[in-house]
Amino acid sequence: MSESGPADFTASAPRHGVGPSGRGVPPLRRTAGRFVAAASLGVALLASLMWVDVLAGNVVPVLQALTPVWIIAAFGCLALTLVVRTRASFVALVPLVVSTLAAAVALSSHPDVPREVATRAGDHHLRVLSLNSELGEAETASVMEAVRETNPDVVVFVEMTTARLRSLDEAGLAQRLPHRSRGMIDDGSRGTVILSRFPTETLDADTELGPWDLQSPVVRVRAPGAQIVVKGVHTYPPLRDGVAQWRPQLRAEGEWQRERTAEHVVMAGDFNASRAHPAFRQSSRGMVDAYPHVHGAWRPTWPMGGSIPAFSQIDHILTRGFVPEQAGIVTVEGTDHAGVWSDLRY
């Protein structure tokens, strides 16, 4: 037998490679790879929606609100790719990584306090708490516990009713925060009230409401060392029945804050939008979102207390002319929103 015989036999034997090239990959694994690739491309598309300012009914705003979920799903796609190791799954990683990384950076990015504001700020502090009481169903004892825990100077209650406010006052809220905005509407989701430790003047009670409008009163708080304009914000959610009103209302909030000439402005409440929504990013341009400024990232505030974990930060305290030094969230029984609070130096 010649020396070349065994070598020739080895060279002619079929190869069963399992690399990502796809040649010789078992059919089941190839199918799994295609499925993972399709999932990765789908997640990449969903994550990129946060730059698409369209409604498509209310489908796009809802999918945008789920952007944190798509970022988490990207890690699952990455893990599956490392398991199946096919060419298709590896190719699909490129748009997946690019889109979800960009989305993660955009969600965690936030405007910083302008240098001149930080330089000018003194030693005065204003502590603000905002809570959506969910049709006035937030439990009085739990709300009062949140008030005692955060010790706010100003509180914005969204979806507050006369009956619930009366219960809170009887529990001691009136002594803590005796001043409040006018124009309370006893209509579950529509009523918003601003309460203050310091004297206030109602600049706009916002009682002339259309069928899709929610009350957003404006007050001037005569705080030590400053006249502070505070607006309670509640925009209509991007539900199918009124989604066409959601974006114009956010746009109107943005126009309102850019027209203010006051040195110190606070907008607090339930915006029904997060940084995943282009409409909110445009509306909040020029304002500092207190929580992400302090912590460097957002934290979900809705939906709380249900079978689905909270995934979206739609409750905000936006400021201008302040340096947010502390911020946090509080959970309250009876409502599906977390309360947000911040200590603002000016």
Which stretches of the chain drop beneath a pLDDT of 70? 1-24
Domain end residue (candidates: 51, 85, 108):
108
Report the chain's C-alpha Rg in angstroms. 26
State the CB neighbour count (10 A cutoff) for residue 116.
Answer: 8
- Burial code (b: 16+ CB inside 10 Å, e: under 16) for 246-258 equals bbebbeebbebbe
CATH classification of the domain holding 234: 3.60.10.10
* Tally of structural domains, the chain: 2
Q: Is 211 part of any domain?
A: yes
Q: Is 61 part of any domain?
A: yes
> Are 37 and 138 found together in one domain?
no
State the CB neighbour count (10 A cutoff) for residue 17.
Answer: 10
Proportion of the chain above pLDDT 90, given as a percent: 86
Which residues, 6 or more positions from 162, have their beta carbon under 8 angstroms from its beta carbon?
184, 186, 191
Report the alpha-carbon distance of residue 53 to residue 50 in Å, rounded.
Answer: 8
* Mean pLDDT estimate for the chain: 93
> Are 185 and 281 found together in one domain?
yes
Q: Considering only the C-alpha atoms of the chain, give the largest distance between any 2 of them, rounded to a whole number of Å.
A: 107
Strands of the sheet containing 339-345, edge to edge, are 179-180, 192-196, 154-158, 125-132, 339-345, 323-330
Strands of the sheet containing 315-320, edge to edge, are 200-204, 218-223, 226-234, 264-270, 315-320, 288-289
pLDDT of residue 21: 52
Domain end residue (candidates: 84, 108, 132):
108
Strand partners, 343: 127, 326
pLDDT of residue 240: 86
Q: Is 3 part of any domain?
A: no
> Are 278 and 149 found together in one domain?
yes
Q: Is 315 part of any domain?
A: yes
Q: Is 2 part of any domain?
A: no
Report the alpha-carbon distance of residue 31 to residue 257 in Å, rounded.
Answer: 53
> Are 31 and 68 found together in one domain?
yes
Write out the residue range of the structural domain in which residue 26 sits.
20-108
> Are 147 and 296 found together in one domain?
yes
> Are 79 and 144 found together in one domain?
no
pTM of the model as a whole: 0.90
> Are 120 and 88 found together in one domain?
no
Q: Is 11 part of any domain?
A: no
State the CB neighbour count (10 A cutoff) for residue 122.
Answer: 11
Residue 42 structure tokens: 């789908």
